[in-house]
Amino acid sequence: MKKSMVQAVKQLICLGMVAIVLAPILLTLFAALKTKADMVGTSPLLLPPLSRVTFENFKKVLGDKALLLGLKNTGLILVISLFFNVMFGTITAFIIERFDFRGKKIVVGLFFLGMLIPTFVTEIARFHVIQGLHLYNTIGAPIVIYVASDLMQLYIYRQFISGIPVALDEAALLDGCLYFKLFAKIIFPLLAPATATVCIIKAINIINDMYIPYLYMPKNKLRTLTTFLMDYANAQQGSWQTLAAGIIVIMIPTIIIYIFFQKYILAGVAAGAVKE
């Protein structure tokens, strides 16, 4: 009896957490399917009658040319940032895990010190660096920041490489394989689960980020999906149903990525955390 009650409590807690996560999304979706009259005349917790459900709000959002511009800019930033994150992350982690050199502990300590310092503490210095590199108001500004400021990939790749037997490296070197070929042909392919994990987590963070694009790319032609939504919200004051449709449209890429690749996130983090 006691065990069944404990199970029931656990299930209620899980259902409560699911409700907390899904409720804002459902309320936004309900609003996006309403006319302006239904926004006033029906409860926000309910869908309008099926005869009055409308998709005009979505058509209006999808017909905005700024949305396509934001999608293009976000896609460009995403692809370039992920490429350099993977390249720099794998190479740096391989060097740290497989080679001993003077000052190695200091270098590793500085990497993780950079992860501990809150971003807002270094924001002024970072802004001056971006200006000094003449990247302000260019698409290169967020790319440099996404590649350089988040070292999460280094931790994940180090955990994976530490689980790869050193004997594999030694066997390849004895067969005449150079270090570059060893990394490219043996180590990097074995890091595929870690790479999938890094790409998925970083892709979600980049797509959802509004702060960096807004601060470093204020030009209209450099809008991303999130800055498009912010400008769209200002233009749609009072039109909550249209704004809700815009929010749902911007959420779709992140939701798709998470639904289809969540197993890789969990499997990758778990595999990288266990050292046999």
* HEC per residue, 190-241: HCHHHHHHHHHHHHHHHHHCCHHHHHHCCCHHHCCHHHHHHHHHHHCCCCHH
Is there a contact between 238 and 79 (Cβ–Cβ < 8 Å)? Answer: no
Identify the residue with better confidence: 216 or 267.
Answer: 216
Q: How far is residue 68's CA from residue 41's CA, in Å, rounded to a whole number?
A: 33
Confidence of residue 168 (pLDDT cuts 50, 70, 90): confident
* H/E segment holding residue 183: none
* CA distances in angstroms from 245 to 11, 30, 61, 224, listed in the order given: 32, 9, 7, 17
Residues 179-226: pLDDT tens digits?
888 888 888 988 888 888 888 888 888 988 888 998 999 888 999 988
Q: Is the pLDDT of residue 272 over 80?
A: no
Helices (H), 33-151: 36-41, 56-62, 65-98, 104-116, 123-132, 140-148
Residues 6+ apart with CB under 8 A from 21: none
**Assigned token pair, 96:** 């740290």
Count of positions (residues) in the chain: 276
Each domain of the chain, given as residue ranges in start order, spans 1-54, 57-273
Binning the chain into helix, strand and coil, the percentages to the nearest 5 are 80, 0, 20
Q: What CATH code would you report for 57-273? A: 1.10.3720.10
pLDDT of 160 reads 87
Q: Write down the mean pLDDT value for the chain.
A: 83
The residue type of 100 is D
Largest CA distance in the chain: 77
Reported as a single tens digit per residue, the pLDDT across 14-42 is 888 888 888 888 888 888 888 888 777 77
pLDDT, mean of residues 146-160 = 83
Tokens matching residue 188: 């990097």
Compare 59 and 239 and report the one with higher pLDDT: 59
pLDDT in tens, 68-101: 898 899 999 999 999 999 999 999 999 988 888 8
Which range of 86-90, 120-124, 169-173 scores highest in mean pLDDT? It is: 86-90
pLDDT at 235: 66
Token pair in block for residue 178: 């150079």
d(CA 150, CA 202): 9
**Sequence-distant (≥ 6) Cβ neighbours of residue 245 within 8 angstroms:** 32, 57, 58, 60, 61
- For residue 90, the model assigns a pLDDT of 92
What pLDDT does residue 80 have?
Answer: 95
Looking at residue 269, what is its pLDDT?
Answer: 55
CA distance 92 to 89: 5
Q: What is the pLDDT of residue 252?
A: 84
Residue 85 is given by DSSP the state: H
